[in-house]
Chain A
Amino acid sequence: MTETPPFTQTVFPLRDFDPATLPSEEPIYRAYAPGVPICIDLGAHSTKIGLANAAVPNNVFPSIVSRWRDRKISQTLTIVGNDVFRDSSVKLAMKTPFDGPMIANWDYIEYMLDYSFEHLGVNSSGGVDNPVVMTEAMGAPHVFRKNMYQLLFEAYNAPTVAFGLDSLFAYHANGGRTGLVVGAGHELTSIIPVVQGRGILTQAKRINFGGHQATTYLSSLLTLKYPYFPTKITAQQAEYLVHDHCYVSPNFHEEIKTALDPDVLQTLDRVIEAPFVEIAKVVKSEEELQKEAEKRREGGRRLQEQAQKLRLEKLVQKEKDYAYYITVRAKMETASKRDVQNMLQGEGFEGEADFKKYMYNLERSLKRSRQGDLGDVEEETPTFPLVDIPDEQLSEEEIREKRKQRLMKSNYDARARAKLEKEEEKRLRDEEIRKDKEWRESDLDGWVAARRARLGELIAKHQVRVKIQREGKDRKSKASQQRMKNIASLADDADANAGGTKRKRVTNSATIDNDPNDTFGANDADWAVYRDINSEAVGADNEEVEEEEREELLKIERELLEHDVQFTQADTFEASFDWKNSTLHKFLRGPSAFDIEDAHHQHQVHLNVERIRVPEIYFQPSIAGLDQAGVCEISEDIVLRRMPSCGFLGDADEMVRDVFLCGGPVLTHGFETRMRNEFTSFLPSGALLRIRTANDPVLDAWKGMAQWANGAGATYVTKKEYEEMGSEYIKEHNLGNPCLI
């Protein structure tokens, strides 16, 4: 195997919002003038506000409001936009007025408008003395317009109001006349054909996927990918992950196929490390280590000495006892039976046998401790002189001694036999090794084949065992059904044994559920049968066999590694668990080894497939479970079928000459390239195709609003018209929704 140089990856920090990057305060517009249109691009992600006499919006702030009760002064603070991030407790209470793409909370919108007009320096009294231009959603629901009209006309007394679509305003700002506008937003993506400066909304489409959904999708992917990740990745951090690391694959179908290939992974994989406090390891010097070791040795010695002392004390005590009982025994020999009994009871013995047993044990332990202190003495061959002499020639005392000697002799013989057996075994083993070696030397191929066959057998056995274990988990598997049958029959037997007489089953109309003879469980002891069976099933036996086979497997592998040239480290059973071959390892831990002890590794997430998987949803919404066609399929449909069928024959050709991208998500790296690739694939060859991204995908909508408001085409609904026509009425213009009434 060739050794590749170790691969090191750049570790990116997990970016979070830094309040220090905020300006010291939200700017207040100095050049307020009554009558100048006020443009408000009210987005689900951020709101851009400004007067049309400025080049850029005066304030850009996230569309969030925090109502936080300060307990010290018992007041509820209302903080809007960027200011929310200035205080951590205020930040915790932040909420958005939006639910999906729609405004759900109008109280918050009112706060945001109050905040906006204040920051625009509006100082007219009794009302906002400026025309107001607002953005709205494509096909905005009536309730939106109703509430917005109500606020602007009744609360702010605005003289005139106009609504329009943000992506069309952005197209307007970029000087577009005829083209296809793809606007990707925070909550939705819209595709609108524009002909001669007019948005054709009857042919426009909306995909319910935007930057927010991409963020949530990545966030859920990561929680599932790393369920035990020590810190929580916040929505804000996930948003930055999408911004910083995700990109649109120019050819997703090809790129995803090889995403986890080792060489591809080295460039695709991104390591992101969450911040954590490292627990510093105290590094000890050589001297300190030596000192510690010496201390340990000293402690050990002291313990040993103490134990020795204790043993000696015990020995002395035992010797004393022994001497005492020897005298007792001597006395007993001469005393009468009754006296002996009394004496024994006085000493605390139950009888003569008990006394003898005690004496025997004492003698033995004495002998042992004496020997232990002196060191191991080679056991000399004991002699048994009485064993071979017939009983007739012996006195009663000697017969007793003979019986004892016979016992000892058999004991000794057994030990000797065992020793012999052991030697024989060793000889056989050596013989086997020798034969094996001979076989190997004479017929290497045959030997290797046999070894390999045995290895295969062992692996197969292991796999069978794993399979059985797995089947045990599944209630419906054959193995566990068989097990249930066994349990049932065992329980039956146990029941019969306990009851003494085996009762006859009532078989008619009895099922397993309502068998009147089935009293299993009535007695708590019945359940013990499960325990017995379990301990049988995964008993020590099984584990032992497993361990033995594993050892044999390792041994064979060692031998094969040594003698079989074709058997390499990569072929071993261990190697099949190598992370280099593991899809999941590469997915979870990237192209390098994972050290579970390393605190850095623990706090790292790897983005690889996700980097292209998340933005791909714009092109294949089905990935996120949306039953909608992707951006390019919709575009194809509009350009090739919908527009021509509506009579815009020449315009469809013209349209692909200006495909316009705007909105935050189109800033994702590679978005434009992918669009170009896909458009090229469905357009007839030679068709003129031009795809461009807005100069400023985020702010161009507002700039377009200002341009439109300053231009001649601006049409507003006056307060009088609103009062006359009702809240459903809007004035149609090129960049807005059509009026339904």
Chain B
Amino acid sequence: MPDMNEISYLTTKPHSFKSPTWKAPNRRHKPLKQLLSDEQKRLNTHEPPLANDPVTYFSVEAPPSLRPLKVYCDITGLPTTYKAPGSNLRYYDAEVFELIRNIAPGVDQQYLELRAANVILR
């Protein structure tokens, strides 16, 4: 069992290769959501305005599919055309339908969340 203190010391000791004047800025943590909105804001208000077709994080985003959407049973993953009224869950056969009929409250939303179709209350 190696000494964790030693391992840690290697990272935290004063490093010869670090600038002696370096002081880490205070808050250096931002969640993804904020990073994205900051970047969007920066691009929109860029001075001077950006060229016509700039390569940005948002421009390289893949476009939505143009092919007909294939639907699969939310429970089993098998191809289906049935959709349960009420919960909007897709189901493969009568047996699966019986299951989602008696599904515990909230679980239907968890299944829908897997394909980002759940209801989000704000």
Contact = CB atoms under 8 A, between A and B. Distances in A.
A127 B17 contact: yes
Q: Give the bracket for the number of chain A residues in contact with chain B.
A: 35 or more
Contacts of A122: 16-17
A155 B19 contact: yes
A439 interface: no
Interface in B47-76: 50-51, 53-67, 69-70, 72, 75-76
A583 B1 CA distance: 50
Nearest to A190: B60
A73 interface: yes
A613 B117 contact: no
B95 A584 contact: yes
A139 B56 contact: yes
Contacts of B31: 99, 104
A604 to B, nearest CB: 18
B18 interface: yes
A259 B78 contact: yes
Contacts of A118: 10-11, 15
A227 to B, nearest CB: 8
Contacts of B10: 115, 118-119
A106 B35 contact: no
Given A118-B10, A202-B53, A633-B65, A622 B4 contact: no
Most chain A beta carbons < 10 A, residue from B66, B70, B96: B70
A117 interface: yes
Contacts of A737: 55
A126 B11 CA distance: 17
Contacts, number: 223
B92 interface: yes
B54 A740 contact: yes
A694 B50 CA distance: 36
A613 B77 contact: yes
Contacts of B65: 620-622, 627-630, 633
A688 to B, nearest CB: 25
B44 interface: no
B74 to A, nearest CB: 9
B5 A77 contact: yes
A197 to B, nearest CB: 18
Given A201-B60, A583-B93, A609-B77, A77 B72 contact: no
A157 interface: yes
Interface string A68-91: 001001010111100100110010
B115 interface: yes
Contacts of A128: 17
Contacts of B101: 470
A251 to B, nearest CB: 13
Contacts of B36: 102, 141
Given A79-B7, A127-B19, A202 B55 contact: yes
Nearest to A588: B76
A260 interface: yes
A156 B19 contact: yes
Interface in B91-122: 92-93, 95-96, 99, 101, 107, 110-111, 113-117
Contacts of B72: 256, 613, 623
A629 B40 CA distance: 23
Nearest to A90: B4
Contacts of B22: 154-155
Contact of A141 (B24, B29, B57, B77): B57
Contacts of B66: 629, 633
A324 B19 CA distance: 116
Contacts of A259: 77-78
Given A106-B29, A623-B115, A740-B50, A125 B16 contact: yes
A633 B69 CA distance: 13
Given A115-B10, A620-B70, A738-B55, A628 B64 contact: yes
Interface string A122-139: 111111110000000111
Interface string A37-72: 000000000000000000000000000000000100
Interface in A641-663: none
A114 interface: yes
Contacts of B24: 107, 110, 155
A87 B4 contact: yes
A100 B32 contact: yes
Contacts of B69: 622
Contacts of A100: 32
A260 B95 CA distance: 14
Contacts of A147: 28
Interface in A597-639: 609-610, 613, 620-630, 633-634
A221 interface: yes
A156 B7 contact: no
Contacts of B78: 256-257, 259-260, 583, 609
Contacts of A154: 19, 22
Contact of B62 (A99, A114, A117, A629): A629
A706 interface: no
A77 B4 contact: yes
Interface in A215-256: 217, 220-221, 224, 227, 253, 256
A111 interface: yes
Nearest to A105: B29
A90 B29 CA distance: 21
A582 interface: yes
Contact of A583 (B59, B76, B111): B76
Given A78-B8, A102-B32, A217-B114, A204 B60 contact: yes
A206 interface: yes
B54 to A, nearest CB: 5
6 contacts: A139-B60, A206-B60, A208-B61, A256-B78, A628-B62, A628-B63
Ranked 6 nearest A-B pairs via Cβ: A625-B116, A106-B28, A625-B115, A77-B8, A141-B39, A629-B65
Given A114-B15, A470-B101, 13 more contacts: A24-B2, A70-B4, A70-B5, A79-B7, A80-B11, A104-B30, A119-B10, A128-B17, A609-B76, A627-B64, A628-B62, A629-B63, A740-B55
